[in-house]
């Protein structure tokens, strides 16, 4: 089991996202559940980022929503940094 941490930015952005579109809530919850079990699960499409976000990772919540995170395999911990559309989180 992996330990999930959340930044204030992630919490605030996720809350706003769900307020705008309540249908996203079950998708976000399912993604967080899979991250806790196995961040390398194929459904998440975990990938490392490059450029200005070098060293960070991202997973797919829905076709248009991405979740940016840090991954520490040694301590089996994940820190959730941001969530939003592709353009919002990869700026």
Whole-structure pTM value: 0.94
Q: Is there a contact between 67 and 31 (Cβ–Cβ < 8 Å)?
A: yes
All structural domains of the chain, each given as residue ranges with its CATH number in brackets, are 3-89 (3.30.2310.20)
> How far is 56 from 68, CA to CA, in rounded Å?
7
Cα–Cα distance, 9 to 59 (Å, whole number): 17
In degrees, rounded to 5, the angle at the alpha carbon of residue 7 between the alpha carbons of residues 4 and 9 is: 140
Q: What pLDDT, in 10s, does the model give residues 61-80?
A: 999 999 999 999 999 999 99
Task: In whole angstroms, give the CA distance from residue 86 to residue 32.
Answer: 18
9 within 8 A of 81, measured Cβ to Cβ = yes
pLDDT digit string, tens, across residues 15-24: 999 999 999 9
The residue among 3, 38, 17 whose CA lies nearest residue 82 is: 17
Which pLDDT tens digit goes with each residue over 21-39? 999 999 999 999 999 999 9
Query: Which residues are registered as beta bridge partners of 59?
Result: 67
């Amino acid at each position: 089991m992996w330990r999930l941490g959340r930044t204030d930015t992630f919490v605030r952005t996720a809350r706003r996202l769900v307020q705008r579109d309540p249908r996203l809530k079950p998708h976000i919850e399912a993604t967080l559940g899979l991250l806790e079990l196995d961040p390398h699960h194929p459904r998440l499409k975990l990938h490392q980022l490059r450029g200005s976000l070098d060293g960070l990772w991202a997973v797919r919540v829905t076709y248009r929503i991405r979740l940016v995170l840090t991954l520490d395999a040694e301590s089996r911990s994940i820190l959730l940094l941001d969530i939003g559309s592709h353009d919002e989180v990869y700026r």
